[in-house]
Structure 1
Amino acid sequence: IKIFDDLSANLPALHDSWTAQNMVPLSSLITDSYDIYANFPVNTMEDLQNRKLNAPGTSANWLQGTGATPVDGALTTYYTNIQTGVTEGTLSFASGILPTRVYEVAPELTRVGIGSMYFGAIAANKDFFDGLPAPVQEAFTAAASVTSTAHGDYVSMLAEKAMTEMQAAGLTVHELSAEEKAKWTEGLPDIVAPWLEQTGEDGKIVLSAYFDALRENGVTPGRDWDAGR
């Protein structure tokens, strides 16, 4: 949240993309961490071979090269998909799995540490925002910062609560080893390339700035997707 709030406000390549939509970004929105919820345990990458997992949208990219087949869907369809054998699990996040009770049909959670996903922001119409008096604009910006912090705390709280309740209901938790995580990461094709083809030089600037910010905040990426761009 901190990184995207900063880049959306201060990195022209990203900020201008909001301006092009006549919007002013205020506060970033995220999920908690994506992991594998399935009706089978995952101890090695071989355990994913020929498995079908719900992985909608861009999250399907994370299964490329793993041997698993991504199947489109949504939190509202995962339960039935897994129950009827359409899929055998899903890449998803705890705060979404708990209320949809997917853990009942996918009682094996494998922590793989994919991390959270940024999926958008609270934003204001630019014409409206520009028409506000400066003190009101400043109040909006200050409130947005508080909202980002509160949202991050809320998502963390929901994820922790979900894990406690799901484990009490019978969810078994496994941790994929660092060695197997590295196999997954290193085995992925260049999943960034298609996005860069669409976004061009601005995309390269945003990618580089994002990974620089990760490292400045003490995060060591599992793979340097910005290298050589």
Structure 2
Amino acid sequence: NLPYVTPLVTADIGLVARTMSELVERYPQMAEQWQDYRQVYLTTAGSIDTYQVLTNYPVSSLEDFRGKKIAGVGLNLRYLTGLDASPVNSGISDWYNNLATGLVDGVIGWAEGSIAYRLYEVAPYLVDVRLGAVSTKVNNVNVRTLARLPEEVTNGLKETAEDYRDELAREADRRSAKSRIEFVERGGTIIALTPEQRQAWADGLPNIAGEWADDMEARGQPGHAILHEYMEIMRANDQPIVRQWDRE
């Protein structure tokens, strides 16, 4: 969940996936959670290059979110804190109908999803806030299955999982770029937020990263150290960080 609680840090899904894999190597306890499910961690992956907001009305300022019903799932609904918008917990399979019927005014989605689910028909405005990339997948292998495999196959699984992780990220970037073009071709409008608006959005959020780290610490995990290393890697890679989550 770490990338979910550090919004407005990076839209580089490849970097996020590699970083999460690297952190698991540095902090083996992050992978130990899979032992209860008889799974062995191979690598982290992701296919969402960055969360955006899709709306059925034009947006020119953050004030335009006030009083609007915006759908999302889980942690990303917290991105609405500070905007005076009303979060609505709703899965992507319901978004089209919810938008079409006026149940919601917008969704926290992403470019590829807007094309795959034809959301441009009912939410023709993509607010380019670039909330950030998230790792949404983990590649594992069953413990007993792994034990039956020869060492060269075991090593090959790890290498292949990393290759898959990196290619999936590249494909996510390709599809996102293509989807943005298609969104406009199909009548949609992409609305860019100014740096000042993105900063105001970030400043209005509670310290969700700090809350995550505190929760991890309460579970016996080095949450603050993991958060700090994640942000250090982002800084080392010159990411356009809007809020330094580990320095609060």
TM over 0.5, shorter chain:
yes
8 A Cα contact 1:52 1:68, kept in partner: yes
The match for 1:157 among 155, 174, 191 is 174
Separation in 2, partners of 1:26, 1:33: 24
- Check if 1:96 corresponds to 2:116: no
SS of residue in 1 equivalent to 2:76:
helix
SS in 2 for 1:116: strand
* Residue 173 of structure 1: aligned partner: 190
Letter in 2 for 1:192: A
Aligned residue runs from structure 1 range 196-207, under 5 A: 196-200=213-217, 201-207=221-227
Structure 1 residue 130: Cα displacement: 4.1
Q: Distance in 2 between matches of 1:208 and 1:129?
A: 33
Once residues 217 and 132 of structure 1 are traced to their aligned partners in structure 2, the CA distance between those partners, rounded to angstroms, is: 37
**Shift, 1:170, TM fit:** 0.2
Q: Is the 8 A contact 1:95 1:158 kept in 2?
A: yes
Paired residue secondary structure (2:152): helix
Aligned to 2:244: 224
* Letter paired with 1:125: N
Q: What SS does the aligned partner of 1:70 have?
A: strand
CA shift, 1:123, in A, is 1.0
Q: CA deviation at 1:193?
A: 4.0
Which residue number corresponds to residue 5 of structure 2? none
Residues 1:121 and 2:141 are matched in the alignment? no
Q: Contact conserved, 1:33 with 1:115, CA < 8 A, in 2?
A: yes
Which segments of structure 1 move beyond 4 Å, counting only runs of 4 or more?
none
Identity of aligned residues (%): 26
> Per-residue CA shift, 1:165-221, capped at 9, x if unaligned?
221110101100000100000111122244234311422222122111111222142
Letter in 2 for 1:123: N
TM superposition shift of 1:100: 0.8
Higher mean C-alpha displacement, 100-109 vs 6-15: 6-15
- Residue in structure 1 matched with residue 45 of structure 2 by the alignment: 29
Deviation at 1:9, TM superposition (A): 2.9
Match of 2:101 in 1: 84
* Aligned residue in 2 for 1:17: 33
The answer to whether the aligner puts 1:69 opposite 2:86 as a matched pair is: yes
Q: 2:21 maps to which residue?
A: 5
For the 8 Å contact 1:37–1:89, the answer to whether it is kept is yes
- For the pair 1:148 / 2:168, whether they are aligned, the reply is no
The one of 231, 238, 247 aligned to 1:211: 231
Offset at residue 164 of structure 1 (A): 1.7
Count of residues in Structure 1 that have an aligned counterpart in Structure 2: 228
After superposition, give the CA deviation of every residue in 1:109-168 in whole Å (9 maximum; x if it has no partner): 110011111112111123432443221111111111211121011111221221122211
Partners of 1:213 and 1:129 in 2: CA distance: 31
So what's the TM-score if we normalise by structure 2?
0.85
- Separation in structure 2 between the aligned mates of residue 8 and residue 60 of structure 1, nearest angstrom: 26
List per-residue Cα deviations over 1:55-103 (Å, max 9, x = no partner): 2111001111111111011111111111111110111011112111111
Residues 214 and 224 in structure 2, CA contact (< 8 A), matched pair in contact too: no
The residue identity in structure 2 corresponding to 1:103 is Y
